[in-house]
Amino acid sequence: MKKALNIIKNIFVWVVAVIAICMMIFTLVSVNTFNRAERDLFGYKVFIVMSDSMSKTDFDAGDIVLVKEVDPAALKEGDIIAYTSQNTHNFGETVTHKIRQLTTDAEGNPGFITYGTTTDTDDETVVTYPYVLGRYSGKIPKLGTFFHFLKTTPGYIVCILIPFFLLILIQGLNSVRLFRRYRHEQLEELQAERERIEAERLESQKLMQELLALKEQLAGQESADEASPTVEDIN
């Protein structure tokens, strides 16, 4: 039973440690890569979907979308692209929408008319090549929602602080237990040493008594020999 409890405890410690480490790594990676158009992760730019403008066909708010850099000239109708918006209501934000058709802007620069499939409404401005960030390659459902939760105080407490606190508490309890075991073993060794010294003292005392008894016996024997008449005395 004790062995089974130790196995369960060790598994729990490892699970908590893995969760804490994964949360820390995820936090560091996400802060440095999510929604950062100038950075990529394994060749993909990573963006959190902020609206449901594409939820009818492809992805929802809170999903993570993976965007691969591509030559804008290679894009075609039906491709989904991420771009830096030049629209008045969300200027400078990253938008991921579908290409409705290839076109040019008022200055004759090649670009795309894009739209969200949920509303089927064209975006305000033509997306020209310099604002294209890449082509949509896939999604990770709801990871963005979790990332936003992780950045909140409750998320930090639940996902990072509590696992690390549990690890510290468990290691502290283990240290106390090991210290108590060490003290107990020290006391046992000290008691065993005392018993050994006492046993040696008793053994020495017994040997001394035997030597004294032997000495008395030899002294008595010598006295008896001196008191006995010799042949010369008889003559």
Which DSSP string do the residues of 75-118 spell out, in sequence order? Answer: --TT-EEEEE--SSTTTT-EEEEEEEEEEE-TT--EEEEEEETT
In angstroms, what CA-CA distances link 6 with 2, 3, 67, 127, 173?
6, 5, 46, 61, 14
Q: Rounded to an integer, what is the distance from CA 66 to the centroid of its chain? A: 25
pLDDT at residue 55 in the model: 95
Alpha carbons within 13 angstroms on the beta-carbon side of residue 154 total 3
* pLDDT digits 0-9 by tens, 78-88: 999 999 999 99
pLDDT at residue 215 in the model: 80
**Which pLDDT band, with edges at 50, 70 and 90, does 232 fall under?**
low
In angstroms, what CA-CA distances link 174 with 2, 103, 111, 162, 205?
16, 68, 64, 18, 46
* pLDDT digits 0-9 by tens, 18-63: 888 888 888 888 888 888 888 888 889 999 999 999 999 999 999 9
* Mean pLDDT of the residues in the chain: 88
Alpha carbons within 13 angstroms on the beta-carbon side of residue 156 total 4
pLDDT at residue 166 in the model: 85
Q: Hey, what are 188's tokens?
A: 């046992």
Model-level pTM?
A: 0.66
Paired strand residues for 81:
97, 135
**Which pLDDT band, with edges at 50, 70 and 90, does 163 fall under?**
confident
Contact 127, 117 (CB under 8 A): no
pLDDT at residue 68 in the model: 95
CA–CA gap between residue 126 and residue 79 (Å, rounded) = 15
DSSP 8-state code for residue 158: I
The superfamily (CATH) of domain 36-142 is Umud Fragment, subunit A (2.10.109.10)
pLDDT at 231 over 60: no
CA–CA gap between residue 154 and residue 160 (Å, rounded) = 10
| CB burial readout 184-213, b (16+ within 10 A) else e | eeeeeeeeeeeeeeeeeeeeeeeeeeeeee
List strand residue ranges (DSSP E) for 42-79, in order. Answer: 44-48, 64-68
Alpha carbons within 13 angstroms on the beta-carbon side of residue 220 total 6
Reference 133, options 57, 72, 51; nearest CA is 72
The CA-CA-CA angle for residues 42, 57, 82, to 5°, reads 40
Lowest mean pLDDT across 16-30, 60-74, 104-118: 16-30
